[in-house]
Amino acid sequence: MNILSVASEVYPLVKTGGLADVVGALPSALLPHGVKTRTLVPGYPAVMHKLKKKKAVGRFENLFGHPATVHSAEINGLDLLVLDQPALYHRDGGPYLDTTGRDYPDNFRRFAALSLAAAEIAGDNVIPGWKPDIVHVHDWQTALAPVYMRFGSARDIPTVMTIHNIAFQGQFGASVFPELSLPPEAFSVQFLEYYGDVGFLKGGLQTATSITTVSPSYAQEILTPEFGMGLDGLLASRVDSLTGIANGIDAEAWNPQTDPHIVEHYGASTLKRRAANRKALEDRFGLDHSPGPIFCVISRLTWQKGMDLVAEVTDDIVALGGKLVVLGSGDAALEGALLAAASRHRGRIGMVTGYDEPLSHLMQAGADAILIPSRFEPCGLTQLYGLRYGCVPVVARTGGLADTIIDANEAALSAKCATGFQFLPVTADGLRLAIRRVMRAYSEPKLWARMQNQGMKSDVSWAKSAERYVSLYSGLLAKG
C-alpha cells in the first residue's frame, strides 16, 4: 500500500508544533504493516538546506504563475517529496509568519499550490511510474488537495483528512477564489464557500473520503458548538466518516534510557538517576536547589493552552513550596506576565522564551510534573513525553488529555493505575486545586514513584494507532 502524506511541516526538517511530530513519526510506524509513505512538504529554506542528497523527480512548468520542481530525498528514514518553488516558499520568516510575526498575505496561494501539487502527483501527472493508493492530508494547509482531486484526474483515489486543530481553518476572502484554478461550481456550499468566504478546511471536510482527528474524545467534542468552531454541523452530517485516532510519539527520539539531550539516562527501575537531570535543570534556569516539586511548562503561550491560568497561579506554586520552569513563546502579554513572575520569584521560577528541542527533553527528564491546562486540546504530545520520562502530567480534562492520562483519584490510586492529575473546570481555581493534589502526592515518595512508574509503563508509541490507520486505509481500498 502506497500513501501520499501531505503536510506543511515535518520533523526533523521544520516544526512549529505537534503536527510536525505526527507527520514525521507515523510513516515508520506504518512500515511494518506493509504501508509505504511518501511525504510531500514545501521547500522552505530550512528544508532545502537539509537536503544534502536530492533528486528531481517531477516538474511543474506553471504552478500558480511559476515553475516548480519536485525533489525526492530520504532523511531519518523519511521518504520525502519536496515542492521547490522559491517564489512561494523561500522566505526569511517561518512556514506561516513573516519576520514580524504576521501571516504571509499570500498564504492562500502558497498552500493551494501545495494541495494542487499533491492532487497532480496523485493523478500520475508528475512523477512517472508512481501514484499513491491513498492521499492523506493534514490540517487546512493541505485541505484543498481532496477538492482538487474531486475535479481532476485523481477523483477515484480515496483521501483521508486529519484535523489536528479545528481552530485553524484557512478562511480567506472570496476574492482569492479566481486564483485557485478551480471551476466555478467549487465556490458553493457543497465545496469551498463558507459564509461568503473561501474555507480551505471546510472544503477538505466536505470532499475527503474519510475524516480523522487525533483523539477519540476530540472527535466527539468537535461535534458540539463549543468545540466545533462553526464546523460542528458539517461534521455532524459526516459523522459516519469521522474517526478519532490518538497520536503516539516517536519512542526512539523520546527515550530516557538513550536520550542524548539529558545529563543522565534512567528507566523505571532507576528513577533515582533523575536527580542529576533535576540539578542540571535547576542550573539551566537559575533555580535554587531546595526540595519540593519542579513544575514545567513547554508550550505555545496562548489562551487556548491556558497559559493565562499558569500566570495566575505562579505565586501559589511558590507559596506551596514548588518551583516552575517555562519554555515557550506566543502572546506578548502572557510572556510578560510569566517573565514578571520569574523576576518576582528569582531562584524559584525560571523562563526561556522561544523553543529549544534539547532543552524540552531535559525539562521532561528533570522536572517532576508538567502543567497542561489547555482549554481544548485535540491530542497533545507533551503529556505523552511526560509519561515516558516520569514527569507526571497535570492536565485539563479535555480532548486527548482526558484520553491519555488516568486521574489520581481514590479508585485509581487504590488500583495503582493512576498516571497523572486531571482537573475541571479549566479555571485558575481548578488548576490551584490540582496543584495542591500534586503537592500532597509528592509528599509521599512511594506513591509518587508508583505514579511515575505507571506512567513510564504506558504504551505511548504509535503501535496501536498505526494499526488503526492501517485498518482505516484497508477499509477505504476495500470499498474501492
246: left (phi over 0), alpha (psi -120 to 50) or beta: beta
Q: What is the Cα–Cα distance from 444 to 177, expressed in whole angstroms?
A: 61
Contact 334, 302 (CB under 8 A): yes
Phi, psi of 59 (to 5 degrees): -150, 145
Contact 365, 391 (CB under 8 A): yes
Single-letter residue type at 79: D
Residue 52 annotated as lining a ligand binding site: no
Cβ neighbours of residue 94 closer than 8 Å, sequence gap 6 or more: 16
Q: What is the Cα–Cα distance from 432 to 152, expressed in whole angstroms?
A: 54
Q: What is the Cα–Cα distance from 458 to 349, expressed in whole angstroms?
A: 30
Contact 414, 406 (CB under 8 A): no
**C-alpha cell recorded at residue 322:** 514548588
Q: What is the Cα–Cα distance from 324 to 311, expressed in whole angstroms?
A: 11
* Helices 307-319/428-442 angle, 10° precision: 40
403: left (phi over 0), alpha (psi -120 to 50) or beta: alpha
DSSP assigned state of 394 = E
- Strands lying side by side in the sheet with 242-244: 55-63, 66-75, 78-84, 36-42, 2-6, 134-138, 159-163, 210-213, 242-244
* Helices 428-442/445-457 angle, 10° precision: 110
CA 149 to chain centre: 26
Q: Which residues are annotated as a binding site?
A: 15
Q: Which residues are annotated as a binding site for ADP-alpha-D-glucose?
A: 15
